[in-house]
Amino acid sequence: MTWQTPIIVHPPAPDGGRRVTVRGQAVGVARDDRDLVEFLRRAGLGDADMALDDPHLVEWRGGGAHVWAKGS
């Protein structure tokens, strides 16, 4: 079985925001870091704001970390 980061922030959507999955489950579309932290809190991940830049926990796909709009 291949190891995968538990949190995936997908590429920015054309209308803004990024889909977020936690352990393979869709948890919402984040439009900023606050949204992402709240989704992670609801998923039971404490201190999520401290972990956003940890590549072992969060994979930012198709855009840089903390980039919420396509082309930013």
Question: What confidence score (pLDDT) does residue 22 get?
Answer: 94
pLDDT digits (tens, 9 = 90+) for 10-53: 999 999 999 999 999 999 999 999 999 999 999 888 776 668 99
* Domain boundary assignment for the chain: 29-64
Question: What confidence score (pLDDT) does residue 48 get?
Answer: 61
> 3: pLDDT confidence band, cut at 50, 70 and 90?
low
Q: What is the 3-state secondary structure (H, E, C) of the chain?
A: CCCCCCEEEEEECCCCCEEEEECCEEEEEECCHHHHHHHHHHCCCCCHHHHCCCCCCEEECCCCCCCCCCCC
